[in-house]
Structure 1
Amino acid sequence: MSRDFGYGLLAAICVSVMAATSVTASAWAGVPSAGCGDHHWVSTWSASPTDSVGAIGSEMPGGEQTYRIVVTPHRGGDSVRIRLSNRFGSEPVTFTRVTVGRQTLGAAIDPDSLRAATFDGGSTSTTAAPGTDIVTDPVPITVEGFEPLSISIHTDGRSRQVTEHASGNATSYYTPPGLGDHAADIAGDAFSHTTTRVPFVSQVDMPAPAGVSTVVAFGDSATDGHVAADFLGTPQVAGVVDQNVRYPDFLQHRLDEAGGEAVVTNAGIGGNRLLSDGMVPALGRAGESRMDADVLAQSGVTDVIVWIGMNDLGMPIGASYEQLVAGYTRVIDRLHDAGLRVHLGTMMPASNGLADGLTSFPPSDPVRVRANSWIRSQRLSDSVIDFDAAIRDPNNPGILDRRYASADNLHPTPEGYRLIADTVDITKFVGNDCTAAR
């Protein structure tokens, strides 16, 4: 049995060229601003696609096999619809069978919960063209918030490309190629391989009553939930996998405890930059260029937490203060034009960050400090979240507080992510028109 612990190792070995792709808007009936009907769709889980992997050097060979992807929705409901992505594929992918069920242990599922997903009003299979996302019909299944859900996908073998999210921070399963269709299996015996990548599945929606809306947490590895296991920043600490200790997870718990009606989804990509594509495909396309696909396409979205920019400074050093400010301004304007509220976060310190810090972050720290000053003083965004002030060392503002720093001094620990979630002023999420009318 094999395991891949995420974007660090993948980024080191990945040599493919990132394809420029688009998302077919008509294929995904997102709800940019929820209306005041009795029910509407909201996004309850997401993982932004980063790249496509194939047979050579990959733990997920592609081809005819079955994947069982485990996701943890932040809100419960009595039905789901599932978004599948071939965004980075250069050839069509045919999904011959898709099922969904509640996870019990490992790859096994609750037999009473197994449901078949359909497409276009009843078809059990569908083909996703290169560069597109597709969506299932609504699937009736009852699931609670933070209850793991297993989505099983069988592909027919004609395509050997798998669009993925490079570091899912959760264990999913897949069969060896050529083993046949196991999407309807209750037992997990056929799923002999594990991965923390997220193949094909990019979003899960559930119906919600009037007033419930989606908050998208948009950013890089700090949003994705990376906790460094060594001073180089890779791999991910094994103990945080499957624990749901990302800051959006903690933020969802805060909202639930306060009786809030917002659902938080995760649009973070490890190594992602605001202004330019990642140095390797696994680090994702530039934050600016993925706004439509990873934010605006999320159902019921009303608010966006934008927390990104460190990798523009340190992978490698390059972005100037003026470039960052211009990028933030364009993103805020783009989201405001779509009718969304923007909550802009300050960048954390990392002057002693060992992954890139010895050569990049110390000389770029004055740019970070100046950019943070602009973030705090600007009035373009709807609010400011001062993550920097919350987690920096009170005696040395250029580094993380050591109580909350993981081994690379660049990524927080789980307790650090909890502190980051506690920094968010949840009263700023005023919801949709239904909420405002109350």
Structure 2
Amino acid sequence: MFTGRRKRTGVLGAAAALLAAGVGLGLGPAPTPAAATTPASCTGTHWVASWAASPTDSIVPTDATGALTPQTLTRQTLRMIVTPHLGGSSLRIHLSNRFGTTPVTFGRVTVGVQTNGAAARDIVPLTFQNSASVTIPAGQDVVSDPASLTFTAFEPLAVSLYVPGIYIAPTKHWNANATSYYSLSLSGDLSQRESGGSYLGRTGAWLFVNGVDVVAPAQTSAVVAFGDSITDGFVGATALSIPADASVADKNGRYPDRLQRRLDAGGIPISVVNAGIGGNQLLTDGQPLQTGPSGLSRFDVDAQALAGAAGVLALEGINDLGLGGATADELITGYTQLIDRAHAAGLKIWLGTITPASNALVDGTLLAPDSEQHRQTINTWIRTQTLADGFVDFDAALRDPANPSILRSAYASVDNLHPNLAGYQAMADAVNLELLRSVTCHG
């Protein structure tokens, strides 16, 4: 259930436990905050985030399924497949070298519509301040100039990046739950080639690409699903969670995907973008591993700064309890900071109750046998606080009625920590769409 509150003030990859982590053109550590670009009326158009993936790391040599990812790129082309939640005819692409230690140069970047596997159609070149090539300094992001390409929601795009030199340890999003492709070393610039036959490598991570914006009517807004691997859509394949279940790749079954389909069916002009990172903690940085910077430290760039962002649905804390040993009081303090920062940026924010996992090995019996009491204290606070603009009771949607400290078996992955695809659907169904509608422009 999603319950609204009046505003009073202006999970996680188990690998984390076993391994330990845009609005203007040009370069920079983050785009302009969304509050500065929200339209004042319902007329005209503006940029809205259609797809996003929070960068996680640059050093882990595998994706979440355990498959190797390219760590050294040499005169070859990447073709990253991303699925937008909002269609359009004008777009721009965000690229990140956030965790790189040296500049990265792309000789050419293109975008097209995926047809099958690595094949694509309607490929158009992208420019960066009117240049076909772009160099991104270490630690920075870049956004392309606008380009014309017509596509619909949930129609996958193929973003191709040619690396003309040698680059080591690319910034990536570790758990894409999607298949992308790359050509062999020294194969050259294949970014404009429609055929996918030369893209012989496959990866379940997204390298460098971290956002797609589209031009949309002014009444359209973005809601950022912010959190850990449960937001990221991780489905565990073993009792220890890793590797991820490869069978869910390319199904777009994450709860933000399912929520997007509900919004589309209801005719509500909102794009739900995913800012989940497996293993992420609200309070503690997970760098340099794939669990990413803490939620508090990445909130500005991964949530507030997304184009057209008007609200944030935050579900985070299970890793703080299970991996970080945080107390309920510490997490409540962190949530309060998140709420204050969202409101200061002009965003609404809703909190999600933490889902049960007392019979899981990770964040449960093996690593955090005493976290259930803290979880219950936190969830009681989330349900009764009046600081946020409401809450989503993900706990109530997923828990076993006979034993509320565990996931209902029909909704659980084999790790008893992450939901399965049916569980992610139940999470999406728990959201009251009318409260999300409140962030759209009403004139």
Identity of aligned residues (%): 46
Deviation at 1:423, TM superposition (A): 0.4
What amino acid is aligned across from residue 267 of structure 2 in structure 1?
A: G
Confirm or deny: 8 A CA contact 2:228 2:278 kept in the other structure. Answer: yes
Q: Which residue of 2 aligns with 1:87?
A: 98
What's the TM-score once normalised by structure 2's chain length? 0.90
Distance 1:210 1:160, change over 3 A: same
Which 10-residue stretch deviates more, 409-418 or 181-190? 181-190
Confirm or deny: 8 A CA contact 1:211 1:435 kept in the other structure. Answer: yes
Confirm or deny: 8 A CA contact 1:71 1:150 kept in the other structure. Answer: yes
Deviation at 1:276, TM superposition (A): 0.1
Q: Which residue of 1 aligns with 2:6?
A: none
What amino acid is aligned across from residue 115 of structure 1 in structure 2?
A: V
Confirm or deny: 8 A CA contact 1:43 1:203 kept in the other structure. Answer: yes
Whole-Å separation in 1 of the counterparts to 2:388 and 2:261: 25
Confirm or deny: 8 A CA contact 1:305 1:342 kept in the other structure. Answer: yes
Which 10-residue stretch deviates more, 354-363 or 78-87? 354-363
Deviation at 1:13, TM superposition (A): 5.9
Q: Which residue of 1 aligns with 2:54?
A: 48
Q: Which residue of 1 aligns with 2:353?
A: 346
| Partner deviation per Cα, 1:126-168 (whole Å, 9 max, x = no partner) | 1101111001011100000000100000112243231100101
List aligned pairs for 1:25-44, cutoff 5 A.
25=28, 28-29=31-32, 31-32=34-35, 33-35=37-39, 36=41, 37-44=43-50
Confirm or deny: 8 A CA contact 2:59 2:288 kept in the other structure. Answer: no
What's the TM-score once normalised by structure 1's chain length? 0.91
What amino acid is aligned across from residue 101 of structure 2 in structure 1?
A: S
Q: Which residue of 1 aligns with 2:401?
A: 394
In structure 2, runs of 5+ residues without a counterpart are: 1-11
Q: Which residue of 2 aligns with 1:225?
A: 233
Q: Which residue of 1 aligns with 2:78?
A: 67
List aligned pairs for 1:229-378, cutoff 5 A.
229-278=237-286, 281-316=289-324, 318-378=325-385
Distance 1:319 1:223, change over 3 A: same
Q: Which is bigger in relative contact order (C-alpha 8 A, separation at least 6)? A: 2
Whole-Å separation in 1 of the counterparts to 2:199 and 2:71: 14
Aligned-residue RMSD, C-alpha: 2.1
Whole-Å separation in 1 of the counterparts to 2:417 and 2:288: 20
Q: Which residue of 2 aligns with 1:117?
A: 126
Distance 1:26 1:279, change over 3 A: closer
Q: Secondary structure at the match of 1:288?
A: helix
Q: Which residue of 2 aligns with 1:102?
A: 113
List aligned pairs for 1:111-190, cutoff 5 A.
113-120=122-129, 122-190=130-198
| Partner deviation per Cα, 1:186-207 (whole Å, 9 max, x = no partner) | 1112211101110000000000
Whole-Å separation in 2 of the counterparts to 1:27 and 1:366: 38
| Partner deviation per Cα, 1:213-237 (whole Å, 9 max, x = no partner) | 0000000000000111111111111
Distance 1:55 1:245, change over 3 A: closer
What amino acid is aligned across from residue 442 of structure 2 in structure 1?
A: A
Whole-Å separation in 2 of the counterparts to 1:164 and 1:83: 13
Q: Secondary structure at the match of 2:330?
A: helix
Distance 1:8 1:187, change over 3 A: farther
Whole-Å separation in 2 of the counterparts to 1:129 and 1:10: 28
Deviation at 1:379, TM superposition (A): 0.5
Whole-Å separation in 2 of the counterparts to 1:297 and 1:11: 29
In structure 1, runs of 5+ residues without a counterpart are: 1-5
What amino acid is aligned across from residue 94 of structure 1 in structure 2?
A: T
| Partner deviation per Cα, 1:316-360 (whole Å, 9 max, x = no partner) | 5x1011101100000111111100000101000100012342233
Distance 1:424 1:344, change over 3 A: same
Whole-Å separation in 1 of the counterparts to 2:30 and 2:302: 14
Confirm or deny: 8 A CA contact 2:309 2:347 kept in the other structure. Answer: yes
